[in-house]
Amino acid sequence: MSTLPLLSKDVSLSPQLRSNMTFIGPTASLRQPIRVLQFGEGRLLRALIDPLFETLRRDFGFNGRIAMSNLRESGQKNISGLKSQDGLYTIFLRQDQEITAEVIGGVVPYDRDRDWENICSLAGTTDLLAIITNATESGVVLSPEEAMPPGAPKTVVGLVTAVLFACWQSDPASLGPLILPTELLPSNGQKMKSLVLTQARRWCFSDPFLRWIEDSRRFINTLVDRVVTGSNPDPQISWRHLGYTDYYSALCEKYGRWWIEATPDVLASLPLYHCEEVQLVDDLTEYHHLKVYGLNGVHLLIASWGLLRGHTTVADAFADPLIRRVAESYFATISRVIDLPEDETKDFFRNLRKRFAQIWLHHRLNDIAVRLLDKWWIRIAPALDRFWQLDGNVPQPLVQTTITVLGYLRKENGQLKAPTAQEVATQLALSDRHEHLWASTLIHAVVAGWIQEFS
C-alpha cells in the first residue's frame, strides 16, 4: 500500500512536486462552466480527447470543463475513483526515451445513474457545446428494453437522445450541441443521428423535436487513433518521482490523431483545430479505410500470428522477420485501395512501423485478440469487398490474415487439423452470407494455403 498522498487538486499544485520527467500541471478552474458532456470514462478518451481540452485551456484561452459520465454500470468504479482524485489523473506521453507527465484537470466525474438529474441539468444551459461518446462498436445500437426518461437510459443512443431532448426543451430555437462520436464505425456521426431519431420515435417524442434532429447538421463523423496501454511509464520510474499516487493514470504513445469531418466554422465555439493532433477533413471515408484496413486490420495478423509463434506484444511480434515480411506485404496491398494522396498514405504507414516497434509500450497481443471474428468482419471483410470490386481478386496478405486468425482460434479450441472448406465457411459465418462474392474464392484460398502457412 502506497504511503504517498492520492492525487488531488492540492497535491497536483504543490510547489514541492518534483520529477525527472517533463511535468505539466492542470489548468482548469472550478469557476469554468461545463462545456462538454462525455459519455465514456475509458483510457482512450482520458488519454487522447480530454488532453486536447487541456491544451485549449492552456494555450488558446478555452473557458470550459468536461462532464465525464460512465456508459455502463461497470464504469461506476472509475467515476467514483476519479471523484476521490478531484477529477484529476496523469497521462504519460512517451516518444523514444522522452517522457512527459501531464496532469489532466477540468474533468468533473458524474455517475450515470446517481447523478442523472445533474447531467440533464447541464442540457438546460447555453453552456453545453458538445457531446462526445465512446462506446464499443457493438454498443452503438438500439435496445428494445431501453427505458424512457426520467431515469438514466442504459445505452449510448438512449443517453444522447435524452440529453438532446432536454436541450431542445430548454431552447427549441438553439442549434444544440455538437455530437462527436468516437466509436470505430463508418460515418459514426450519421449513424448516431439515425439511431437517435429512431429512439426518439420509439419514445413518442414530439414531432417538432424529431424535425429538430432531422434538420440538425451537428452530428459529426470523427475517427480517433492512439495506442493507450498501462499506467506505469517505465520500470525505473515510480510514483515517488511525482510525489503522489494515481490509480487512473494512462501510458500512451505521443502520436495521436482525431480526424473530424467538419470545417473550422462548424467548430468555431470548440476550436479543436488548434491542436496538432486534430485534422479537419472534408470527407472522412478514406481516412476511416486507412485506419481500419491499415492499422486495425494488420493488428489482427500480428496478434494472431504473434500468439501462435509465442510472442506477447506487438513490438515483439513485429520484430519477428516472418511476421514483418507479411506485414510489409499487407501495407503495400492495402495502399492500393486507399484513395488518398500517395504521400499521405506512405506517411501513415511510415509512422505505423515506428509505432509498432515501440517496445516500452507493451501493447499486449492478448488484448487485440479479443472478439477476433467480430473484428475480422469489421476490418478485413470490407477490405475484401473493395478488392473484389477493384479486380475480382482476394489478395494474399488478407488470405494470410484470415488463416492466422482461424488458426489461432482453432488452436485455442484444441483443433489442430487443417479445416475443410465447410469448416472455414462455418467458422467465418459465410455459409448464409451470399452477398459477399469473394466468399468462395477466399474459402478455397484459406484451405489451399493452410498447410503452407503452418508448415
Number of domains in the chain: 2
The rounded percent of the chain whose pLDDT value lies above 90 is 76
CA distances, 423 to each of 198, 371, 410 (Å): 38, 19, 11
* Shared-domain flag, residues 245 and 314: no
Q: What is the pLDDT of residues 272-310, one digit of tens each?
A: 999 999 999 999 999 999 999 999 999 999 999 999 999
Both 122 and 56 in one domain: the answer is yes
pTM across the whole model = 0.93
DSSP designation for 232: -
* Residue pLDDT, tens place only, 45-68: 999 999 999 999 999 999 999 999
Q: Do the domain assignments include residue 1?
A: no
Query: For residue 19, what pLDDT band results from cuts at 50, 70 and 90?
Result: low
Whether residues 303 and 263 share a domain: the answer is no
Q: Which of 236, 261, 281 is the last residue of a domain?
A: 281
Q: Residue 455's pLDDT is what?
A: 58
Q: Is the CB of residue 307 less than 8 Å from the CB of residue 408?
A: yes
Average pLDDT over residues 380-408: 96
Residues 265 and 295 in one domain: no
- State the pLDDT at residue 133: 98
Shared-domain flag, residues 183 and 155: yes
Give the start-end residues of each E strand in 74-121.
89-95, 98-104, 107-110
The answer to whether residues 260 and 304 belong to one domain is no
Grid-cell match 426520467, residue found: 150
Give 219's DSSP letter. B
In a domain, 2, yes or no: no
Q: Which of 252, 281, 310 is the last residue of a domain?
A: 281
Domain boundary among 281, 302, 323: 281
pLDDT band for position 20 (cuts 50, 70, 90):
low
The CA distance from 275 to 259, in Å, is: 11
Asked if the model's pLDDT at residue 314 lies above 70, the reply is yes
Segment 71-77 shows an average pLDDT of: 94
Q: Is residue 181 located within the same domain as residue 250?
A: yes
308 in the same domain as 431: yes
Q: Is residue 260 part of a domain?
A: yes
Arithmetic mean of pLDDT, 126-148:
90
pLDDT at 101 over 90: no
Give mean pLDDT, residues 400-414.
94
Whether the predicted pLDDT of 69 surpasses 60: yes
Mean pLDDT of 142-171: 92
Mean pLDDT of the chain: 91
For residues 186-197, average pLDDT: 97
CATH number for the domain that contains residue 294: 1.10.1040.10
Q: In terms of DSSP bridges, do strands 89-95 and 98-104 run parallel, antiparallel, or are they unpaired?
A: antiparallel
Whether residues 46 and 33 share a domain: the answer is yes
311 pLDDT above the threshold of 60 = yes
Provide the pLDDT for residue 2.
62
Residue 360's pLDDT is what? 85
Look up the domain containing 336 and give its range.
285-454
| Of residues 5 and 36, more confidently modeled | 36
pLDDT tens for residues 340-386?
Answer: 999 999 999 999 999 999 988 889 999 999 999 999 999 999 999 99
Residue 222 CB coordination number (10 Å): 26
Residue 35's SS3 state is strand
Q: Percent of the chain having pLDDT more than 70?
A: 94
Residues 313 and 385 occupy one common structural domain: yes
pLDDT of residue 16: 55
- At 227 the pLDDT is 93
| 402 class by beta-carbon count within 10 Å (0-12 exposed, 13-18 middle, 19+ buried) | buried
What is the rounded CA–CA span in Å between residue 312 and residue 359?
Answer: 11
Side-by-side strand order, sheet with 89-95? 22-24, 98-104, 89-95, 250-253
Residue 62 and residue 141 share a domain: yes
224 with 362, same domain?
no
Is residue 4, in this structure, part of any structural domain at all?
A: no
Bridge partners of 24, per DSSP, are 102
Q: What is the CATH number of the domain that holds 217?
A: 3.40.50.720
Over residues 20-30, mean pLDDT: 68
Q: pLDDT of 429-447, one tens digit each? A: 987 766 789 999 999 999 9
